[in-house]
Structure 1
Amino acid sequence: MSETTDATGHGWTIPGLVRDAARRFGAREAIVDGATRLTYAQLEARVGELARGLIASGVQPGDRVCVWAPNTHHWVLATLAAHSAGAALVPLNTRFLGAEALDVLDRTGSRVLFAPDSFLGRDPVALLRAAEGAGGVGRGPVGGLPDLELIVRIPLEGALGEAASAHPGEIGWEQLLERAAQVPAAEGAARAAAVAPDDVCDILFTSGTTGRPKGAMSSHRQTLDVAAAWAERGEVGAADRYLVISPFFHSFGYKAGFVVCFLHGAAVVPALTFDVDAALSTIERERITIVPGPPTIFQTLLAHPRRDDHDLGSLRLAVTGSAMVPVALVERMRDELSFDAVLTAYGLTEAVVATMCRTDDSPETISRTAGCPTAGFELRIADVEGRELPAGEDGEVLLRGPNVMLGYLDDPEATARAVDPDGWFHTGDVGHVDAHGYLTITDRLKDMFTVGGFNVYPAEVENVLARLDGVVAGAVVGVPDERLGEVGAAYLIMEPGHALSEQDVIAVCRERLANYKVPRQVTFVRELPRNAAGKVLKHELRALAQ
């Protein structure tokens, strides 16, 4: 049994995964990105070449390499090459502004930054250089970042042309590949082989919906363990073709995305951005079998007027989460989008994949739960005093196991607050388990609001709203009220041709919810503010309501 097929996960590293996948699946397609199609054998060769380019550029074991780019084959190659050179990956959110990127690069001491020449009409490196604090003293390509020595430009839109390498310490993608000739292949292979399973593999920053993002560190073994658990529940095999819509900088697109594929020889088909017409065309053309993503992705596909013009018969598996998933949506995904299996899952940056449904679970189980523990996690529901609660009672979700993060980067105090002395990670999520050990997430502790002394969990109200005819998506937040302290405010997206009034919505809620849970105001919107993982940014909605 090879090191990447050992069911225990011991001995696993990302460089080992690349070697093993090339050996097992050499001629199969690994990545399909527009005109770029790479087999597993070609993937190994490209990664090795790029890794030698990084070694020639001075990257040492334990360094940090940052990738600030959208979903393309370059992201995958840069990440695997960084690991093969012995470095830890620091993914950057493509929605970050210059100051946010500067902060992460500074805190991680990243030596190398991969960034596109342009994405969606903006030059990320120009944003970085224009950020407040970027004018400090530094020998490298960006003042104020003394550790950053090299920027590698990914050729994405071609907006900068030859000017991409005009700045000192800034080179193009092809120039990095040319540097590989300076390092013997044996030296590159030795560097990759020296990576150990418990070395830091990556530093993923929390979504930052509230407060300053924290860098959660994971090892190579943990990264592969959680990917293997996801693949096992999803029954992933070499015949699968996986459309990765979730951004690679998020664990859903990275660890539960292309790493899952490489474990079993499936093909990765990255989506640069989510465009419903492009997604439907790609599913048909590439015979896509797996499409994970937040519920809004599938709601949008179902609502598209030309959906039936495309052959979606290849679809096999959908995995969703990050928000409430109504039974009706699960049933429509199976009946109208032709998915054989629709699964829900629960995870966090600090734990990646903690629970997941199984392919034989009922639509009701898939809708009302996020599955049962996986990847070696123990699950516990606790009250405010830390006492374990019985099945059916709401409390904070605690997780313990070998795949809880190593800790927060340079923040032992935050790590100690998150992981108690007994090893339980306090998620900040509210939920309960049923008699079978399946987890239902009720809400985030921070999203709960209190109406006249009664606690309201928005997910319960959102579940009622999702059943209203014509509702595509909705969100509920608590807003200030002079008499009750807080009341609920609902935001709804409607399908074209459907209309509801505020009074209609409130009337239905009064029929199905206790009075204190009924929203006092309803606003119809064209879209909801979301982060890159698809989670609604409720702090922005609360700001709108005030």
Structure 2
Amino acid sequence: MEKIWLKSYKNNVPHEVVLDDKTIVDLFEATCKAYPDNRAVTCHGETLSFSEVHERVSKIARGLADLGVRHGDRIALVLPNSIQYPLCVFATHLLGAIVVNINPLYTASEMEYVIANSEPKVVIILDMFSEKLNGFHNKYGIEHIIVTRIADPYTFLKKTIINLVLRYISKVNPKLQYQAKSFVDLYHNPNKLEESPLVNNNDIAFIQYTGATTGHPKGAKLLHRNIVANIYQIYAVIGAQVADLDKQVVISALPLYHIFSLTANLFTFFFKGSENVMIPNAKDLKDLVKTMNKTPFTIFNSLDTLYNKLLEYKPFTSVTHKYYRYGICGGMPTRQSVADAWFKHTGMYPTNCYGLTETSPAVSMSYFDDTFNGSVGYPLPSTEINIIDPKTGHSLGIGEKGIIQIRGPQLMSGYWRNEEQTRKAISEDGWFNTGDMGYIDTNGHLFISGRETEMIIVSGFNVYPAEVELVIDELPEIAEVAVVGYKDEETGEVPHAYIVFHEGMSLEKEQIIKHCRKELARYKIPRSINFVSELPKTLVGKIDKKAIVAKYLATADKQSGDRHD
């Protein structure tokens, strides 16, 4: 496909980025040297400067090396946003080892699968999740388990108070069936790493597991050069709009073990000398708003559902946006209603972006001063986009909907220990099949229509749930909506909508159908509607359509009274 989006680039945004052989370690060392006194990481009011981060990372790396960690070994991190998280990431990379991010909210069986697949030599885990390892602590090549408490890096008094509260009030007192090592011993290691092993930009930096829609998650092998290239691509866009990237204060509420937050929050701003303020639990809106009120934050990256929850949380109205400059919104499509409400409250639209685990993650991004138009912006420099017909595989033209394919330096090298899935996902000429449906408009904007697997086929016509959801979401009473398909004897499939209202608001089903009739072809209109109190979410806050199907569609045959033909 012709790169028509280049015509819409701002004048100072390059069409291509200049790549080099640098690694994450190179960027880390250069940043700590360039900004030694800048505030680097803050959590619960405790702050480390870049020089202090460098010192602690060196000590942790030495401690891990003393445990036998070598180049190419895997270290699993089961940590929320905390001071410990970036320290452990950089210490792992200093040794040439590989970070395996594991969602702490995983069940024991989910965690076991990832550990069995990646076979880490060391697991570093927060104490409140450590019991989950009991059933397999001595399997899959695990040699050492290091347990940390959230307050381990804090001053003695604050650490003592927080640990007492967690133990005796929150009842965090895990009963372990294994002998664990303490993170404190690493953190206060008297010795530093004397010499870092040679790390190559073709080395694996992360095994980042995808959120599986079917079966088990797959581990994307993200090389140092993939991550560094994506950072350069993001800098090419935001650097053209923000001159003082070393003076930003970023509230990191989205979990850093997720690839969007890892790159958009931590790496992008850490490597420019800016401060990351860690929020261990974004669901704790009280703590998040309290931190916002205390912090002169300039950046708040989020996703649609968290923006929406904050807007509906009354104490959020007290937060000043005096210093706020922008927020990148990713992970899921941003609804027009949420974008408009955020603009009304803050004076800034969310900066939409699109990415995937397999692309490190960023693929496209809008500009900070763009008016929200529902797109995910323009493809990043050095990124190629192709749209193909899902049935024939033939390339499509501008404005035609199909499967999005991506090629660029941010693309993973493949899936960990899964050559079959790698061959299915990446063509011989380097095109990655995203499984997402979308199109490019005449201005070069990329629009996402939904997942290929979510597409509903009604009498041979394609219905994209995202399109129907956007129409329904235009109604101001709607807080959340999810459209899914279920089988129908006459048409093969029909769309069905699940709707959550804003507090104190409601509509009749016929009012919603009437609105849809104005905007949608007949076959796209939901055949039936259910009003629910909440929609199931994934562990990172996205609407979980797989869970919706499992929870609600079993009763679809009982909903015939709600049909709107």
Could you tell me the TM-score, scaled by structure 1's length? 0.89
Does the 8 A contact of 1:283 with 1:312 survive in 2?
no
Shift of 1:203: 0.4
Shift of 1:229: 2.3
Counterpart of 1:242 (choices 228, 246, 250) is 250
Alignment coverage as a number of residue pairs:
515
1:201-212 matches, cutoff 5 A:
201-212=205-216
Per-residue CA deviations over 1:201-256 (Å, capped at 9, x if unaligned) read: 00000101222110000111211221232244334511211111221111111122
Partner letter of residue 256 of structure 1?
A: A
Number of the residue aligned with 2:484: 477
Per-residue CA deviations over 1:271-310 (Å, capped at 9, x if unaligned) read: 1112333323322211111111211111222222233322
1:538 and 2:542 are equivalent in the alignment? no
1:143 and 2:138 are equivalent in the alignment? yes
Question: 1:226 and 1:115, CA in 2 relative to 1: closer, same or farther beyond 3 A?
Answer: same
Higher relative contact order (CA 8 A, sep 6+): 2
User: After the TM superposition, which of the residue ranges 215-224 and 391-400 deviates more from structure 2?
Assistant: 215-224
1:396 and 2:403 are equivalent in the alignment? yes
Shift of 1:507: 2.4
1:272 and 2:267 are equivalent in the alignment? no
Shift of 1:316: 1.1
Question: 1:530 and 1:231, CA in 2 relative to 1: closer, same or farther beyond 3 A?
Answer: farther
Counterpart of 1:317 (choices 290, 314, 326) is 326
Number of the residue aligned with 2:340: 331
Shift of 1:329: 3.1
Is the partner of 1:71 in helix, strand or coil? Answer: coil
1:305 and 2:291 are equivalent in the alignment? no
Partner letter of residue 267 of structure 1?
A: E
Counterpart of 2:521 (choices 509, 514, 524) is 514
Number of the residue aligned with 1:262: 270
Is the partner of 1:175 in helix, strand or coil? Answer: helix
Cα distance in 1, alignment partners of residues 276 and 145 from structure 2: 26
Shift of 1:167: 5.7
Cα distance in 2, alignment partners of residues 374 and 532 from structure 1: 28
Does the 8 A contact of 2:289 with 2:315 survive in 1?
no
Question: 1:273 and 1:231, CA in 2 relative to 1: closer, same or farther beyond 3 A?
Answer: farther
Cα distance in 2, alignment partners of residues 37 and 80 from structure 1: 17
Question: 1:522 and 1:171, CA in 2 relative to 1: closer, same or farther beyond 3 A?
Answer: same
Shift of 1:437: 2.2
Number of the residue aligned with 2:5: none
Cα distance in 2, alignment partners of residues 360 and 16 from structure 1: 32
Cα distance in 2, alignment partners of residues 422 and 169 from structure 1: 49
Counterpart of 1:252 (choices 255, 260, 263) is 260
Number of the residue aligned with 2:511: 504
User: After the TM superposition, which of the residue ranges 267-276 and 151-160 deviates more from structure 2?
Assistant: 151-160
1:43 and 2:53 are equivalent in the alignment? yes
1:69 and 2:79 are equivalent in the alignment? yes
Is the partner of 1:399 in helix, strand or coil? Answer: strand
Number of the residue aligned with 2:180: 170
Is the partner of 2:350 in helix, strand or coil? Answer: strand
Is the partner of 1:17 in helix, strand or coil? Answer: helix
Does the 8 A contact of 1:64 with 1:88 survive in 2?
yes
Counterpart of 2:449 (choices 428, 442, 452) is 442
Does the 8 A contact of 2:454 with 2:484 survive in 1?
yes
Per-residue CA deviations over 1:399-435 (Å, capped at 9, x if unaligned) read: 0112210100011111011001111001111111012
Does the 8 A contact of 1:471 with 1:493 survive in 2?
yes
Is the partner of 1:398 in helix, strand or coil? Answer: strand
Shift of 1:169: 4.8
Partner letter of residue 218 of structure 1?
A: L
Shift of 1:469: 1.6
Partner letter of residue 530 of structure 1?
A: K
Question: 1:405 and 1:354, CA in 2 relative to 1: closer, same or farther beyond 3 A?
Answer: same
Shift of 1:510: 2.2
Cα distance in 1, alignment partners of residues 328 and 187 from structure 2: 36
1:429 and 2:433 are equivalent in the alignment? no
Q: Which runs of 4+ in 1 moved over 4 A?
A: 157-169
Cα distance in 1, alignment partners of residues 527 and 92 from structure 2: 52
Cα distance in 2, alignment partners of residues 502 and 189 from structure 1: 68
1:374 and 2:380 are equivalent in the alignment? yes
Does the 8 A contact of 1:234 with 1:317 survive in 2?
no
Give % identity. Answer: 29
Cα distance in 1, alignment partners of residues 112 and 436 from structure 2: 30
User: After the TM superposition, which of the residue ranges 162-171 and 293-302 deviates more from structure 2?
Assistant: 162-171
User: After the TM superposition, which of the residue ranges 23-32 and 322-331 deviates more from structure 2?
Assistant: 322-331
Partner letter of residue 517 of structure 1?
A: K
Partner letter of residue 221 of structure 2?
A: M
Cα distance in 2, alignment partners of residues 202 and 308 from structure 1: 38
Counterpart of 2:134 (choices 129, 134, 144) is 129
Cα distance in 2, alignment partners of residues 355 and 151 from structure 1: 38
Question: 1:168 and 1:472, CA in 2 relative to 1: closer, same or farther beyond 3 A?
Answer: closer
Does the 8 A contact of 2:134 with 2:176 survive in 1?
no
Cα distance in 1, alignment partners of residues 200 and 466 from structure 2: 42
Is the partner of 2:548 in helix, strand or coil? Answer: helix
Counterpart of 2:357 (choices 349, 360, 378) is 349
Does the 8 A contact of 2:229 with 2:409 survive in 1?
no
Shift of 1:74: 0.8
Shift of 1:257: 1.7
Number of the residue aligned with 2:561: none
Counterpart of 2:70 (choices 60, 63, 84) is 60
Partner letter of residue 250 of structure 2?
A: Y
Extract unaligned runs of 5+ from structure 1: 1-5, 119-123, 135-141
Partner letter of residue 125 of structure 1?
A: S
Number of the residue aligned with 2:40: 30
1:95 and 2:105 are equivalent in the alignment? yes
Partner letter of residue 190 of structure 1?
A: E
Cα distance in 2, alignment partners of residues 402 and 228 from structure 1: 10
Per-residue CA deviations over 1:129-183 (Å, capped at 9, x if unaligned) read: 23xxx3xxxxxxx1332x10111111137467998797655111112335x44x6
Number of the residue aligned with 2:159: none
Partner letter of residue 131 of structure 2?
A: A
Question: 1:278 and 1:479, CA in 2 relative to 1: closer, same or farther beyond 3 A?
Answer: same
Shift of 1:57: 0.8
Partner letter of residue 229 of structure 1?
A: Q
Does the 8 A contact of 2:353 with 2:376 survive in 1?
yes
